């Protein structure tokens, strides 16, 4: 039993031979193949457009989250000024969560950017392949009464067929990844509409208990630090021993 | 031997490198059979590296069918488990 590669070539070969069977006239086979290539090129273009749309959407969410971070920080400050440390802590917890989400969005945007670049490269390569095939097709058609024409056609068609299948595979993988991100983006939009990250746990669905505990530990200490920073800024309480580095106050203010 | 790295490009691989690839291929199958994910990733990386390093990229205007097609570089262990079995990519 051959592995992935073997299986993939078998699939491609089956498609090609089907394609060759379909048309008894070699000229027709070539035209059919050419037409399929043009369709694929359109699909790749569409794939690039989809990736760009998803990326823009994530970037929009980044902006919203950034605003959210600023807003929550201000709210925490106000709460603390009014002696409501409990509220301040909640606001800072949410801020911490929004910041974690921001980091994950940064990664996703970077991933989409690399998908975009690779699809654009595929599109260009495919375009030049199609041009070569078009030239070859005319040459073969012009002399296809020759005995070797059939062999040439089958060679050209299977080489191109493999290339097409591969571009198709690259497209499929890019689209799958983009769709995963889109589903996540949808979930975030819905949650935001439902009340801006009230339920923090539902956004981290899929994490296991240990992940959550670890996340809580880190965010807890980050929240404590943040709270200490605000208190120091507002001149409340004793200065923390592990307090701020010079300059941080201005930067975060 | 013409080798394609799926979703990337095609290479021409000669003699020793082709044998080495076959050897790695068998080891990958063993790793997948043993359910050893780390070992799979390490060996699969070696396969890709070998092809990129020892292989001669096919000319842009050359349209050829591959003898072997390696799965996409971002293949997951789960995907691999469905494919890298038995005789591997290169049947003995």
Nearest to A223 by CA among A101, A78, A77, A92: A92
pLDDT at A99: 92
Question: Are residues A3 and B29, on separate chains, in Cβ contact within 8 Å?
Answer: yes
Q: What is the dihedral of CA A23, A29, A33, A35, to 10 degrees?
A: -80
pLDDT at A210: 58
Q: Which of A4, A132, A169 faces B84 most closely, judged by CB atoms?
A: A4
- Chain A residue at shortest CA distance from B82: A4
B36: confidence class by pLDDT, cuts 50, 70, 90: very high
Tell me if chain B has a CB within 8 Å of the CB of A170: yes
Q: Distance from A9 to chain B by nearest Cα, in Å?
A: 7
pLDDT at A189: 73
B90: confidence class by pLDDT, cuts 50, 70, 90: low
Average pLDDT over residues B42-48: 94
Pairing mode of beta strands B68-70, B10-12: unpaired
* Cα three-residue angle A54-A56-A58, rounded to 5 degrees: 70
Question: Are residues A5 and B74, on separate chains, in Cβ contact within 8 Å?
Answer: no
pLDDT at B89: 53
Question: Are residues A5 and B72, on separate chains, in Cβ contact within 8 Å?
Answer: no
Q: Contact B17/B55 with Cβ under 8 angstroms? A: yes
pLDDT greater than 80 at residue B60: no
What's the CA gap between B14 and B35, in Å, rounded?
31
pLDDT at A38: 87
Q: Which of B4, B71, B87 faces A1 most closely, judged by CB atoms?
A: B87
Tell which A residues from 199 to 228 touch B, by Cβ distance under 8 Å.
none
- Spell out the residues 6+ positions from residue B46 whose beta carbon is closer than 8 angstroms to its own: B24
Q: Contact A4/A132 with Cβ under 8 angstroms? A: no
DSSP B87: T
Question: Are residues B91 and A156, on separate chains, in Cβ contact within 8 Å?
Answer: no
Phi-psi region of B40 (alpha: psi -120 to 50; beta: other; left: phi over 0): alpha
What's the CA gap between A93 and A100, in Å, rounded?
11
The residue count of chain A comes to 253
Which residue numbers in chain A have pLDDT < 70?
1-27, 29, 143-157, 191-219, 237-253
Q: What is the dihedral of CA A60, A66, A69, A73, to 10 degrees?
A: -140
Phi-psi region of B88 (alpha: psi -120 to 50; beta: other; left: phi over 0): left
Question: Are residues A155 and B6, on separate chains, in Cβ contact within 8 Å?
Answer: no
pLDDT at B83: 64
Which residues of chain A lie closer than 8 angstroms to B61, CB-CB? 132
pLDDT at A10: 42
What's the CA gap between A95 and A80, in Å, rounded?
15
pLDDT at A2: 37
pLDDT at A144: 60
Average pLDDT over residues B45-53: 94
Average pLDDT over residues B68-81: 85
pLDDT at B48: 94
Strand order of the sheet with strand B68-70?
B56-57, B10-12, B2-5, B68-70
Q: Which of A4, A9, A118 faces B83 most closely, judged by CB atoms?
A: A4
């Amino acid at each position: 039993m051959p592995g992935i590669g073997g299986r993939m070539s078998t699939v491609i070969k089956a498609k090609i031979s089907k394609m060759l069977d379909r048309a008894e006239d070699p000229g027709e086979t070539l035209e059919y193949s050419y037409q399929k290539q043009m369709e694929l090129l359109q699909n790749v273009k569409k794939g690039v457009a989809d990736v760009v749309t998803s990326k823009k959407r994530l970037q929009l969410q980044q902006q919203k989250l950034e605003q959210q971070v600023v807003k929550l920080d201000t709210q925490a400050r106000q709460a603390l000024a009014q002696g409501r440390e409990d509220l301040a802590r909640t606001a800072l917890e949410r801020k911490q969560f929004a910041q974690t989400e921001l980091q994950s969005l940064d990664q996703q945007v970077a991933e989409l950017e690399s998908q975009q670049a690779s699809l654009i490269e595929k599109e260009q390569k495919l375009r030049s392949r199609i041009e070569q095939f078009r030239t070859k097709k005319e040459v073969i058609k012009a002399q296809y009464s020759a005995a070797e024409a059939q062999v040439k056609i089958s060679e050209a068609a299977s080489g191109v067929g493999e290339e097409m299948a591969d571009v198709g595979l690259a497209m499929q993988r890019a689209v799958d990844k983009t769709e995963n991100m889109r589903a996540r983006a949808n979930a975030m939009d819905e949650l935001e509409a439902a009340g801006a990250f009230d339920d923090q746990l539902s956004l981290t669905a899929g994490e296991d208990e240990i992940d959550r505990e670890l996340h809580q530990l880190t965010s807890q200490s980050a929240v404590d630090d943040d709270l200490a920073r605000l208190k120091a800024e507002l001149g409340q309480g004793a200065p923390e021993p592990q307090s701020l580095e010079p300059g941080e106050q201005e930067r975060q203010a | 031997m013409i080798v394609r790295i799926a979703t990337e490009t095609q290479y021409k691989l000669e003699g020793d490198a082709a044998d080495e690839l076959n050897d790695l291929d068998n080891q990958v199958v063993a790793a997948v059979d043993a359910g050893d994910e780390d070992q799979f990733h390490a060996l699969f990386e070696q396969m890709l590296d070998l092809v990129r390093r020892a292989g001669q990229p096919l000319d842009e205007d050359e349209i050829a069918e591959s003898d072997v097609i390696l799965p996409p570089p971002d293949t997951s262990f789960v995907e691999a488990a469905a494919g890298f079995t038995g005789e591997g990519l290169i049947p003995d």
